Amino acid sequence: HFFAMDLPHSDACFLKAYPAEISEAFCDGHVAAFAFFGGVPRSILYDNTTLAVARILGDGTRRRTRIFSELQSHYLFADRFGRPGKGNDKGKVEGLIGYARRNFLVPIPRFESFEALNTHLEARCRERQAAKLRGHEETIAERMARDRAAFLPLPSAPYDACDKRPGRVSSLSLVRYRGNDYSVPVAYGHREVLIRGYVDRVVISCAAEVIARHRRSYEREDLVFDPLHYLPLIERKVG
């Protein structure tokens, strides 16, 4: 799954790969793209993806998802949406993904991680900025300077791109999140917790304290646990 952002004036682009098409990846892609470009476009065109649009009302008004509304409030950009069912309204970005597959990923490379793949994609996007496209006297980088001049500034801190959900610790010191179980220290059994799901990790907090961090699993019915969370039980039995 690829997140892609294109700047129409300069033709500068940014791509990032993700293990799943989920809202936190969608928002993380924006955070990474804004950092890559060095600012925030004042207006961005979208299709009617459910990652941004929870519902289209009868008058055509879009009701945005909570996480997309948070992202937009953090960076203050305006959004525009294509006509429902008209994918060609956003054809340039879709063409960009095809271009990247043909030019950035041929022959098919092998990477040990998404981090390595994304380092490769970012480097290729930067290299492309030295090109002069047909019909232009300036490089992409030279035209991109005018884009930057019109951008909104980056905020002092990036948006925390994660899915936030309440949860409750089970009697087995496990917290259920998106079809998988994650362990927490046994001292927190039956407590209410806040779960933050990032693209690559799950962070669990109780009140203001972070009590567990795990790699995120994209399997189903997986058990992700830290043996140290159960150490007090073992010590009690040994004692």
Question: What CATH number belongs to 2-150?
Answer: 3.30.420.10
Which residue in 56, 39, 43 sits closest to 149, CA to CA?
39
Q: What is the pLDDT of residue 107?
A: 82
Q: What is the pLDDT of residue 90?
A: 56
Residue 59 C-alpha from the chain's centroid: 30
Average pLDDT, the chain: 92
Q: How many CB atoms lie within 10 A of CB 173?
A: 22
Query: DSSP state, 152?
Result: B
Sign of CA dihedral 216, 218, 221, 223: negative
User: 194: which 2 tokens?
Assistant: 């806040």
Q: What is the pTM of this model?
A: 0.90
User: Which ranges of the chain have pLDDT less than 50?
Assistant: none
Give the domain ranges of the chain: 2-150, 163-238
| Alpha-helical segments (H) within the chain | 23-37, 66-75, 91-103, 114-128, 140-150, 231-238
For residue 134, give every residue at least 6 positions away whose Cβ sits within 8 Å of its Cβ, in sequence order, or none.
Answer: none
Q: What is the pLDDT of residue 136?
A: 82
Q: What is the pLDDT of residue 92?
A: 65
Q: What is the pLDDT of residue 146?
A: 95
Q: What is the pLDDT of residue 187?
A: 95
Tens of pLDDT along 8-24?
999 999 999 999 999 99
Cβ pair 130, 140 in contact under 8 A: yes
Tens of pLDDT along 34-79?
999 999 999 999 988 999 999 998 888 899 999 999 999 999 999 9
